[in-house]
Amino acid sequence: MLIVALEKDISQEERNALSIAKKSLDNSEYLPKTILNLRKALTPLAINQTLNHDLSELYKFITSSKASNKNLGGGLIMSWGRLF
């Protein structure tokens, strides 16, 4: 998902947030921390309503209660696997 999203027409701020998340995932860093950092980076854009449509869907997912359970990784892969 992140690779496909990086290839889309997105803002530099969105691209930076996704690049950092991708590097973190590539380095096998702790997934909840990676998601939290991505959420923190995207929140100001979401508040200002400047998120790309696809990223706004991802943001909705990572901020939902579904993403806060113990199966976050499985939920992300099932929902957004095509972009990873």
Predicted pLDDT of residue 9: 78
Sole residue written with tokens 């099932």: 78
Predicted pLDDT of residue 72: 56
Per the CB < 8 A criterion, the answer to whether 67 and 61 are in contact is yes
Domain, as residue range, for 53: 2-83
pTM: 0.70
pLDDT in tens, 3-36: 555 566 788 999 899 999 989 999 999 989 999 9
Predicted pLDDT of residue 43: 95
pLDDT in tens, 41-56: 999 999 999 998 888 8
How many residues does the structure list for the chain? 84
**What does the block give as tokens for 28?**
């096998």
CA dihedral 66→7→84→30, nearest 10 degrees, is -70
Number of domains, the chain: 1
Rounded CA separation 64/36 (Å): 12
Predicted pLDDT of residue 33: 92
| Cα 14 off chain centre by | 10
3 C-beta neighbours (distance < 10 Å), count: 11
